[in-house]
Structure 1
Amino acid sequence: MSSLRAKIQDVFNEPACEQNRGKDAKARKEGCSKPLTPGAAAGGCAFDGAKIVLQPITDVAHLIHAPLACEGNSWDNRGAASSGPTLWRTSFTTDLTELDVVMGQGERKLFKAIREIKEAYGPPAIFVYPTCVTALIGDDIEAVCKRAAEKFGLPVVPVNAPGFVGSKNLGNKLAGEALLDHVIGTVEPDDAGPYDINILGEFNLSGEFWLVKPLLDRLGIRVRACIPGDARYFDIACAHRARATMMVCSTALINLARKMEQRWDIPFFEGSFYGITDTSEALRQISQLLVKKGADPEILGRTEALIAEEEAIAWKKLAAHRPRLEGKRVLLNTGGVKSWSVVHALMEIGIEIVGTSVKKSTVEDKERIKQILTDDNHIFEQMVPRELYAMLSEHKADIMLSGGRTQFIALKAKTPWLDINQERQHPYAGYDGMVELVRQIDLAIHNPIWRQVREPAPWDCQPAVRKELPSTKSETATLHVVQEFAGTTADDFGEC
């Protein structure tokens, strides 16, 4: 536990974070995460955050050393996609019982589970995650992993991020520390080149990374490691030989990018693949960093040619949607990099942003938003469901973009809604992703169902029929009624 405490303090003292640099020594030790409320699971815990960052490593066996409920809580909770291995979708747990805890059988059961996974699946590595229960009873995860690695001849990586140590964001960073301590730099590639890069904080949600990789391939740029989206263990182990790094989500893995720059002299920048302008700028910065690290400067010209070609195609496709969307109002209830990158992307086609949340955004993210949105009234730290509902029901926005957690607020307010968080079904990164995002917004806003659901229900109508109906049920009388009311107008009934 002493090593874990030291690791947490090191993560809190993050010099790459501008907000952290502005604090005094005492405030810096307290960290950035809000203290957890006992028994509250909203927003996730450190274990959940570590699992989110590492589980998309597709060929690794992820073993949860805990009671069964801990694994069931966070398994497969994001929309990351794999182009090959499926082992990451297999759930492994030591399934500790009360008897195991009382009798001190946790470490023995963990060792046995590692052996069974090795024999049955033969993965390149096994990641072991302790949780609150096993951390509190004092199981020495690192010792067991070290012994198992020696015994079975494969890497067994301890991911020391039990839930009680802090928030999900802290777990993200502890996962990055586990990669630094046990994975990155453990394998020397025999094909390192001047055009190798790393991409950090890209989760390949709905296959978004697959829309960006072809652009890099056309420039001759190889992604040595995409962490964690669609990653392989040996790619991450060789990540220290990349020449440059792009940071997509700094709130999650800024510590990993900074320490890789310190240890292996890999410069990094933070960028976004959301929106046409931001995608182009990201490609430029990648090429510029590679040139600074020794790549041929001719890549800069090829990058500009690629950008000009792809932008022309994308703008041509977007032209069909602009007349239908220009002036439409969007409420963005998300956070992190999407709080500014999606804002910029939507404003490029004339969509008005009536509000964007910055709950999970860094200081750098907030500064970018202020540069894009000159009105601070459109920026909110957190909006409670009641306020969201009031804003939507008063028709101050034509559509809300958010995660699945708030979709029912929009549906209750009879307002179009589109998922842009991890559960989304469509990729929105890169040039093609931007076109798809605009297309989905267009479809959602102009879906005829919204006109229908906004109409009063039939049982809410109070017709005041002024013409008397015959009190007979004969066919002759029925025909008479049809003929009598054939020319009836709305004036003959009360308003609905």
Structure 2
Amino acid sequence: MNHNVKEAFQEPACEHNHTPKAKQGCARPKPGEAAGGCSFDGSQITLLPITDAAHIVHGPIACAGNSWGGRGSLSSGPLLYQYGLTTDLSEQDIIMGGEKKLKSAISEVIARFQPPAIFVYATCVTSLIGDDLDFVCKNESKKWNIPIIPVNSPGFVGSKNLGNRLAGYSLLQHVIGTGEPKKVTDYDVNVIGEYNIAGEYWDVKELFDQVGIRVLSKITGDGRYREITYAHRAKVNMVVCSRALISLAREMDEKYKIPYFEGSFYGIKETSFSLRQIAYLIGDRTLEAKVDELIYEEEEKVFSELLTHRQFLKGKKAVLYTGGVKSWSIISALKELGIEVVGVGTNKSTLEDISKIKERVGFDCVLIEKGGAKEILNVIRNKQADILIAGGRNMYLAIKEQIPFLDINQERHTAYATYKGIRRLANDLVHSIQHPIWKITKYKAPWVGDNDGY
């Protein structure tokens, strides 16, 4: 485990390691680093969307309960991933060791569900008391003749993003390359770091199907265990969230010679770029022609359909508080709708993300480097923003400030990716901003005085 954590900090494809301070690697965790999501949470975000596998949390029940059911990853078939499975360690188990209880839990899960594979997650408690997760998983895997994969990403090692990366190591070491597909084509690609939030992957697949691109492995939104075993046979890797799984794509490039690029499906231009980049890396002229034709048709339709929305949204100001790929790709979508982004959260963004943000916003845009209601409120008030676009935890901040709000994070129930997604985004923005409740909130209370005007 320690070796994997060290490798994650020294990731060669991470821009932190191309600076004069390259020997230092990525920033080490600081006290309070896991407050916005720990490494254990990050590993679950990455692996739970493998829908037909069983996922056992080895630790106290709170580790499973605090994040269970909090993600919007959807499945087109198996629902085993939605079960909250845990060893539920007690104080006695912590004193005597939890390995025996883990073996019992594995046995019970196999008897009840017959899963194709089991992922076992280490937690702070089980790592501190010294339970040997790798040893137990290896022995139980031989005993039951099914893959049992240890995920050594306890919360105390760092942030949620580090957990994403450690989950990628688990896939590379124990899953990818262990199987073979029934057939391969020249148009096979892997989509890495896309978690099918609110069903976004299905809209992406619809575009791919129209031009003949086949997704060989979904890593991991709406994924199946077996399809990830043969991910090494793809022709191209598209990385949707670089901070999370750039290491997985880089190592697959080194080991299996699969080229990769970072792309996004948020916004018209970003979607078109990603489609063209896949076709370019595959290197097929016929596919490139099909992609160009599809892009022309889709862009013409969507620009026409969004004309009314853009007239209403033109000149509106938004504060965007999210992280990772969304911190810059959503900006492109908002600008296409005529919205001016006056503030962007960067506390979960990489240096490359921040560079892309600066390319897409004006000099007057405020980069909110540290989280917290106070900083966000200052930007909203100083810039006179019309709407806050952020994660669900900031919804109450917007309500207190009495401004419109749109949920953009993984808990949401609306898909905003691809050309279809930007139509939904435009509808939701217009609906939120022009909702009559905001007019009502400007009135004084009846006992304060008359309500002539606001």
SS at match of 1:16: coil
Deviation per residue, 1:296-347 (Å, 9 max, x gap): 3211111000000111111111012121111111111112111111111111
Work out which of the residue numbers 19, 23, 26 in structure 2 matches 1:22.
19
- TM superposition shift of 1:423: 1.4
Structure number with larger C-alpha Rg = 1
Contact 2:347 2:371 in 1 (8 A): no
Match of residue 429 from structure 2: 441
Match of residue 331 from structure 2: 343
Distance in 2 (alpha carbons) for counterparts of 1:67 and 1:353? 42
Match of residue 87 from structure 2: 94
Give 1:97's aligned amino acid: S
- TM superposition shift of 1:51: 0.9
Deviation per residue, 1:199-245 (Å, 9 max, x gap): 11111111111111110011111111121111100111110000001
Query: Are the structure 2 counterparts of residues 33 and 252 from structure 1 closer, same or farther at C-alpha, using a change threshold of 3 Å?
Result: farther
Match of residue 8 from structure 2: 11
- TM superposition shift of 1:68: 1.2
Match of residue 218 from structure 2: 226
Distance in 1 (alpha carbons) for counterparts of 2:100 and 2:40? 22
**Cα-Cα RMSD:** 1.7
Contact 2:342 2:364 in 1 (8 A): no
Q: TM-score, normalised by structure 1?
A: 0.88
Contact 1:212 1:429 in 2 (8 A): yes
- TM superposition shift of 1:25: 5.5
- Does 1:78 find its partner at 2:71? yes
Match of residue 134 from structure 2: 142
Deviation per residue, 1:270-305 (Å, 9 max, x gap): 0110000110010000111111xxxx3211111000
Match of residue 172 from structure 1: 164
- TM superposition shift of 1:54: 0.6
SS at match of 1:164: helix
Give 2:265's aligned amino acid: F
- TM superposition shift of 1:390: 4.0
Query: Are the structure 2 counterparts of residues 74 and 97 from structure 1 closer, same or farther at C-alpha, using a change threshold of 3 Å?
Result: same
Contact 2:34 2:159 in 1 (8 A): no
Distance in 1 (alpha carbons) for counterparts of 2:133 and 2:148? 10
Contact 1:393 1:413 in 2 (8 A): no
Q: Which runs of 4+ in 1 moved over 3 A?
A: 23-26, 390-395
Give 1:258's aligned amino acid: R
Distance in 2 (alpha carbons) for counterparts of 1:14 and 1:41? 20
Give 1:289's aligned amino acid: L
Match of residue 377 from structure 2: 389
- TM superposition shift of 1:19: 2.0
Query: Are the structure 2 counterparts of residues 394 and 259 from structure 1 closer, same or farther at C-alpha, using a change threshold of 3 Å?
Result: closer
Contact 2:217 2:228 in 1 (8 A): yes
Match of residue 468 from structure 1: none
Q: Size of the alignment, in residue pairs? A: 454
- 198-207 vs 390-399, which deviates more? 390-399
Contact 1:65 1:110 in 2 (8 A): yes
- TM superposition shift of 1:395: 7.0
Match of residue 42 from structure 1: 35
Distance in 2 (alpha carbons) for counterparts of 1:390 and 1:254? 34
List runs of 5+ in structure 2 lacking aligned partners: none
- TM superposition shift of 1:88: 0.3
Contact 1:318 1:435 in 2 (8 A): yes
- TM superposition shift of 1:102: 2.1
Contact 2:267 2:329 in 1 (8 A): yes
Match of residue 411 from structure 1: 399
Match of residue 265 from structure 2: 273
Distance in 1 (alpha carbons) for counterparts of 2:426 and 2:22? 46
Deviation per residue, 1:144-164 (Å, 9 max, x gap): 111111111100000011112
- TM superposition shift of 1:72: 0.9
Query: Are the structure 2 counterparts of residues 407 and 150 from structure 1 closer, same or farther at C-alpha, using a change threshold of 3 Å?
Result: same
- TM superposition shift of 1:36: 3.1
SS at match of 1:332: strand
Distance in 2 (alpha carbons) for counterparts of 1:393 and 1:12? 38
Contact 1:329 1:399 in 2 (8 A): yes
Query: Are the structure 2 counterparts of residues 108 and 350 from structure 1 closer, same or farther at C-alpha, using a change threshold of 3 Å?
Result: same
- TM superposition shift of 1:378: 2.9
List runs of 5+ in structure 1 lacking aligned partners: 464-489
Distance in 2 (alpha carbons) for counterparts of 1:391 and 1:354? 8
Distance in 2 (alpha carbons) for counterparts of 1:348 and 1:68? 45
Match of residue 189 from structure 1: 181
Distance in 2 (alpha carbons) for counterparts of 1:413 and 1:452? 14
Contact 2:327 2:353 in 1 (8 A): yes
* Identical residues among aligned pairs (%): 49
Pairwise mapping of residues 109-128 of structure 1 onto structure 2 (< 5 A)?
109-128=101-120
For CA contacts below 8 A with separation 6 or more, give which structure has more relative contact order: 2
Distance in 2 (alpha carbons) for counterparts of 1:218 and 1:140? 48
Distance in 1 (alpha carbons) for counterparts of 2:31 and 2:159? 7
Give 1:327's aligned amino acid: G
Distance in 2 (alpha carbons) for counterparts of 1:184 and 1:340? 30
Match of residue 57 from structure 2: 64
